[in-house]
């Protein structure tokens, strides 16, 4: 099939789950036993180059099949699309997916349906970057500012960021961009690690992993908090003793508290110099975040991994409710909407420190931060990307961390492609791992439908 006539021929979906709950990996005050999972999508084409687009959204186990069903609902919008047109204008598909009036009713622009849209669009960007023979961060950084602006939906945010504002920011960001790209390739992008801080870990494991993180070059770690104040004080004391006074320690409550609890709890932990308190209350509570921020300074307030869309981010910024904005590569409507959020943050001069971890979130979001540095904000000052050392081996081009920095990906695409053998093994419930596991399962353990096996 010629490049001009090639079309998307299939949208294949997979329910991928990993049994991370068994070692308490990923455990926090709100999510004590997550099984890290991905609703995974592959766009296949009849193009002669053989390229595919890979994308996914992250869940934590039960309900992943609901997310896959949402992906399946988008298939009619994608199959048959001309590949060249799709990659030249991913925004056209974004507008069609977000604008489907019947599916929109399930949001609008939030929740399972919006996450599915993000996964499909991320797969399109993966395909476009592969066809351009560039890693996604470079593909975005090299793009013309006017074209990037055309990929953004300014509806509902034009009171805070106009297309003209965005174009000016992107044009300004091009100054010295080649030099920053070279510096990125040479030195990487700063990272911090959450690996020591899962709530289910013992104090000994926490301290050991915290010391190891510092030895590996990280200058910031993060601890989960919010289940028990006495435990949090003890754990934060242990972490501070392990890393010393000069390493930043962020704390993360994962939405556990009411506003007054967030203030009281954060003040109780302030003696151990936490750098930020993350998700202190509901991610939808803009005024609640503003109240917490006003009460706990100089501890900073960070949020974003569960923020539904650009509109809520706009309000958090307008209200002065956050010190740190945390994008997530798979929560909102894909690269297109994350471009809008990065531009909103740059317009308000608020640093972006993305959420990562999970399944493949590190692989994805590194590209967005690297684009932000090279072609938008132009700085890494007080900016770090979260790193968690889980499940990278399942990806063809896993992240590489060196001296506490993400190395710049060089392989074309979005780093989103999983190994076929991992899909075969961990597809639920019929993959080789789960088939064997479910055959010998504890009858009291919840199954896919949430009832006893």
Structure tokens belonging to residue 299: 């501890």
Q: Which two tokens stand for residue 41?
A: 């999508």
| Catalytic residue status for 224 | yes
Closest to 413 in 3D by CA, of 49, 98, 112? 49
Beta strands in 206-257 (DSSP E): 220-224, 248-252
**How far is residue 143 CA from its own chain's centroid?**
22
Catalytic one among 224, 289, 300, 405? 224
How far CA 319 is from CA of 188, 191, 291, in Å, comes to 33, 28, 10
Q: From edge to edge, which strands make up the β-sheet containing 53-59?
A: 8-17, 37-45, 53-59
Cα 100 to Cα 105: distance, rounded to the nearest angstrom: 9
Within 13 Å of residue 222, how many CA atoms lie on the same side as its CB?
28
Phi, psi of 302 (to 5 degrees): -125, 145
Catalytic residue among 51, 355, 392, 394: 355
Sign of CA dihedral 130, 415, 173, 91: positive
- φ/ψ region of 188 (left if φ > 0, alpha if ψ in -120 to 50, else beta) reads left
Instruction: Please state the φ and ψ torsions of residue 45, each to the nearest 5 degrees.
Output: -135, 170
355 as an active site residue: the answer is yes
Are 198 and 188 in contact by the 8 Å Cβ rule? The answer is no
Whole-number Å distance between alpha carbons of 362 and 55: 13
**Catalytically annotated residues:** 224, 355
């Amino acid at each position: 099939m010629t490049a001009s006539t090639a079309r998307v021929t299939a949208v294949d979906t997979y329910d991928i789950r990993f049994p991370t709950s068994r070692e308490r990996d990923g455990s926090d005050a709100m999510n004590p036993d997550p099984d890290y999972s991905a609703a995974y999508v592959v766009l296949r084409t009849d193009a002669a180059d053989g390229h595919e687009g890979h994308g996914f959204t992250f869940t934590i186990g039960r309900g992943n099949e609901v997310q896959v069903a949402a992906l399946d609902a988008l298939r009619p919008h994608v199959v048959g699309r001309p590949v060249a047109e799709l990659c030249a204008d991913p925004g056209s598909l974004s507008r069609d997916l977000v604008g489907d009036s019947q599916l929109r009713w399930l949001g609008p622009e939030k929740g399972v349906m919006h996450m599915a849209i993000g996964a499909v669009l991320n797969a399109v960007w993966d395909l476009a970057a592969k066809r351009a023979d560039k890693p996604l961060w470079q593909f975005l950084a090299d793009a013309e500012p006017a074209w990037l602006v055309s990929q953004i939906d300014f509806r509902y945010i034009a009171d805070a960021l106009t297309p003209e504002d965005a174009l000016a920011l992107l044009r300004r960001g091009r100054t010295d961009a080649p030099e920053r790209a070279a510096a990125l390739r040479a030195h990487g992008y700063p990272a911090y690690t959450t690996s020591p801080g899962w709530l289910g870990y013992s104090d000994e494991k926490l301290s050991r992993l915290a010391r190891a993180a510092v030895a590996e070059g990280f200058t910031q770690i993060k601890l989960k908090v919010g289940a028990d104040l006495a435990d949090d004080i003890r754990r934060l004391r242990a972490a501070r003793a392990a890393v010393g006074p000069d390493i930043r320690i962020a704390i993360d409550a994962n939405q556990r508290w009411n506003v007054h609890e967030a203030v009281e709890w954060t003040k109780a932990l302030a003696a151990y110099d936490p750098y930020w308190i993350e998700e202190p209350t509901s991610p939808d509570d803009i005024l609640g975040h503003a109240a917490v921020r006003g009460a706990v300074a100089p501890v900073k307030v960070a949020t974003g991994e569960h923020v539904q869309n650009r509109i809520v981010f706009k309000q958090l910024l307008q209200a002065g409710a956050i010190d740190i904005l945390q994008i997530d590569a798979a929560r909102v409507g894909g690269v297109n909407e994350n471009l809008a959020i990065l531009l909103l943050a740059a317009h308000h001069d608020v640093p972006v420190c993305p959420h990562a971890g999970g399944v493949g979130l590190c692989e994805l979001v590194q590209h967005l931060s690297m684009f932000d540095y090279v072609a938008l904000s132009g700085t890494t000052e007080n900016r770090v990307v979260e790193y968690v050392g889980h499940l990278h081996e399942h990806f063809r081009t896993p992240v590489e961390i060196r001296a506490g920095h993400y190395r710049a990906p060089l392989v074309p695409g979005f780093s989103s492609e999983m190994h076929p053998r991992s899909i075969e093994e961990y597809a639920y419930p019929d993959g080789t791992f789960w088939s064997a596991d479910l055959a010998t399962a504890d009858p009291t353990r919840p199954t896919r439908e949430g009832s006893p096996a």
